[in-house]
Amino acid sequence: MRRSRRQAAGRRKDEGASRKVPQLPWTVVRNPYPAMDIAGPDDVEAIHDASMRVLEETGINILLGEARDILRDSGVAVTPGETRVRFDRGFIEEAVARAPRQWTLHARNPARNRVMGGNHINFFPVAGNPNVSDLEGGRRAGNLADYRDLLRLAQVINAVHGCTPMLEPVEVDPDIRYLDIVGEQLFLTDKIAFGYSLGRRKIRDAIDMVRIARGISEAVLLDEPSIWTVVNCNSPLQLDVPMLHGMIEMARHNQVIVVTPFTLAGAMAPVTIAGALTQQNAEALAAIAFCQTVRPGTPVVYGGFTSNVDMKSGSPAFGTPEYVKAVLLGGQMARHYALPYRSSIVNAANWPDAQATYESAMSLWATVQGHTNMVMHSFGWMEGGLSASFEKIAIDLEMVQTMIKALEPVDFSEPELAVDAIADVGPGGHFFGTRHTLERYETAFYEPILSDWRNFETWKSDGAIDTTRRATRVWRQLLDEYETPDMDPGIAEELTAFIRRRKQEGGATADD
């Protein structure tokens, strides 16, 4: 694949300087319109009350003794020798209220910092999928070369607002893999970095690497959230040891924990949307309350990943009506607690085709209407999380860019109302050559990166290339446009040495 990419670049050079992909600029994105509320205030209160009853009466399993001790020391009635912990709602509500409403997540390049909270929207790419595919190379297991290319796309695409572990490079030994996952983000991009919180040592190393990459002291790091992680509960109602170790480390360092129960309705959660949301809310608030107990004021995000399963196969479905409702409701719950919100653009399709597109489009609208602050998996997710697709990245980019432009407010000033221009053209005329048009036409409309608006005959005579195949051209061109971001040589050396040393020491397991 790399070779053919270089060949393509060579071809383009032969044809003369190629125009860059007409991306939107790097920009702050907000949804300036009210969120879409599908639950009334009483319904929100009903979900809250039900989830509090779950935490009070059923409780959740906290598998790490140290975590139970922290809770006990804060007044939670922990029974010695029992992993099950039941929470008083007063404790939960007080702890959750300590979480900050809005904050900045820092990147190693300050121009890449992003605000989380309010009506800010940040799009993050696909994360954690074990396979990868492109049209010509086919589907293959996650590997470092593809992980690097995906990160290069994350860097070059302006609508990608931060990094994720975009692919699981399964060829790398799990004990050292996390060093490559974080290291490649820091070397190949200058955007926000992500670390897996699977055990104490792994996340400590990730925090160290980000601190080195930013060239800051531990004291500054403690003031400036600079790395983020996701904690998926073991739904239903369980937090395991590596997860809790990760949360403790991240909270103690004041770093960002995105708590995201994986509550598939009908499988790990009740079959009803209201029930799945009740469980999601109980699990999310318990974990968030735990983080706020470790360190009050820790930046946390209320994550939702509720969808339904295919009742024929038990496999997860995405972009469904149930998914749309869960995303919108999750946003309402997050706003109820004044917490930043995370949800996702996801699909269960096997190919970057119409199904992948409509399931993602439904997800996209729900995330935006639900005032999602961190939109995960916005670029390239496929197969319900089993594969990342290069072509899908280009398709998703067109959709996300369309949405970003659609959210820009309309200008209703007098010249834009064009009463004089309409008078000048008059009945039966046209506006093509008018001054009002000429002054604005270059920037008036969104220019697509992938859509082909030529007529059928022209499109057909040019090979009848469908959108998925055009997407190959787009991601390849974007990859060709990639430039390695600057990094101070001293920092690069220190980071390289850190990774080399930790690899020599054997990395870390989830138990470390």
Segment 126 to 155, residues that bind its own copies, using CB under 8 A: 131, 139
Query: Using an 8 Å Cβ cutoff, are 471 and 391 in contact?
Result: yes
Helix spans in 253-297 (H): 273-294
Query: Using an 8 Å Cβ cutoff, are 124 and 374 in contact?
Result: yes
Helix spans in 110-197 (H): 144-156, 174-188
| 481 touching its own copies, by CB under 8 A | no
Beta bridge partners of 316: 309
Interface positions, 405-424, toward its own copies (CB under 8 A): 405-406, 408-413, 416-419, 421-423
Q: Measured between alpha carbons, how far is 374 from 339 in angstroms, rounded to an integer?
A: 12
- CA-CA-CA-CA torsion for 264, 197, 193, 475, nearest 10 degrees? -40
Task: Tell me which stretch binds its own copies (CB under 8 A): 96-104, 271-279, 286-294, 371-379.
Answer: 271-279
Q: Measured between alpha carbons, how far is 321 from 325 in angstroms, rounded to an integer?
A: 6
Report, in Å, the least distance between residue 489 CB and its own copies: 42
Site string for its own copies, 9-48 (x = CB under 8 A): ------------------------xx-xxxx--xx--xx-
Q: Which is nearer to its own copies, 102 or 437 (CB)?
A: 437
| 320 touching its own copies, by CB under 8 A | yes
Q: Measured between alpha carbons, how far is 387 from 141 in angstroms, rounded to an integer?
A: 9
| 441 touching its own copies, by CB under 8 A | yes
Report, in Å, the least distance between residue 268 CB and its own copies: 6
Q: Which is nearer to its own copies, 15 or 411 (CB)?
A: 411
Q: Which is nearer to its own copies, 158 or 402 (CB)?
A: 402
Which one of residues 21, 78, 265, 510 is an interface residue with its own copies (CB under 8 A)?
A: 265
| 322 touching its own copies, by CB under 8 A | yes
- CA-CA-CA-CA torsion for 303, 309, 315, 317, nearest 10 degrees? -70
Report, in Å, the least distance between residue 170 CB and its own copies: 16
| 278 touching its own copies, by CB under 8 A | yes
Report, in Å, the least distance between residue 334 CB and its own copies: 16
Interface positions, 324-343, toward its own copies (CB under 8 A): 324-325, 329
Q: Which is nearer to its own copies, 235 or 298 (CB)?
A: 235
Q: Measured between alpha carbons, how far is 465 from 174 in angstroms, rounded to an integer?
A: 41
| 273 touching its own copies, by CB under 8 A | yes
Which one of residues 165, 242, 275, 340 is an interface residue with its own copies (CB under 8 A)?
A: 275
SS3 488: coil
DSSP state of 57: I
Interface positions, 43-72, toward its own copies (CB under 8 A): 43, 46-47, 50, 53-54, 57-61
- The pairing of strands 84-85 and 374-376 is unpaired
| 395 touching its own copies, by CB under 8 A | yes
CA 232 to each of CA 197, 200, 238, 262: distance values in angstroms, whole numbers, following the listed order? 10, 16, 10, 6
Site string for its own copies, 85-124 (x = CB under 8 A): ----------------------------------------
Report, in Å, the least distance between residue 225 CB and its own copies: 30
Report, in Å, the least distance between residue 220 CB and its own copies: 39
Query: Using an 8 Å Cβ cutoff, are 217 and 246 in contact?
Result: no
Q: Measured between alpha carbons, how far is 144 from 192 in angstroms, rounded to an integer?
A: 20
Number of residues that bind its own copies (CB under 8 A): 128
Q: Which is nearer to its own copies, 405 or 501 (CB)?
A: 405
| 352 touching its own copies, by CB under 8 A | yes
Report, in Å, the least distance between residue 73 CB and its own copies: 22
128-139: b or e for each residue (b if 16 or more CB lie within 10 Å)? bbebbbbeeeee
Site string for its own copies, 197-236 (x = CB under 8 A): -------------------------------------x-x
Q: Which is nearer to its own copies, 90 or 429 (CB)?
A: 429
Task: Tell me which stretch binds its own copies (CB under 8 A): 179-187, 189-197, 304-312, 485-493.
Answer: 304-312
Query: Using an 8 Å Cβ cutoff, are 452 and 470 in contact?
Result: yes
Report, in Å, the least distance between residue 51 CB and its own copies: 9
| 237 touching its own copies, by CB under 8 A | yes
The two structure tokens encoding residue 25: 């600029």
Q: How far is C-alpha 267 from the geometric centre of its chain's CA atoms?
A: 24
How many CA atoms are closer than 13 Å to the CA of 46, on its beta-carbon side?
Answer: 11
Q: Measured between alpha carbons, how far is 499 from 267 in angstroms, rounded to an integer?
A: 40
Which one of residues 8, 9, 222, 386 is an interface residue with its own copies (CB under 8 A)?
A: 386
Which one of residues 185, 226, 260, 308 is an interface residue with its own copies (CB under 8 A)?
A: 308
Helix (H) or strand (E) holding 194: strand 193-194
Find, among 463, 403, 379, the residue nearest to 157 by Cα.
Answer: 379
Q: Measured between alpha carbons, how far is 255 from 288 in angstroms, rounded to an integer?
A: 13
Query: Phi/psi of residue 381, each to 5°?
Result: -65, 140
Q: Which is nearer to its own copies, 175 or 398 (CB)?
A: 398
Task: Tell me which stretch binds its own copies (CB under 8 A): 252-260, 291-299, 344-352, 482-490.
Answer: 344-352
Helix spans in 378-488 (H): 390-406, 414-417, 419-425, 435-438, 441-444, 456-461, 467-481
Q: Which is nearer to its own copies, 102 or 234 (CB)?
A: 234
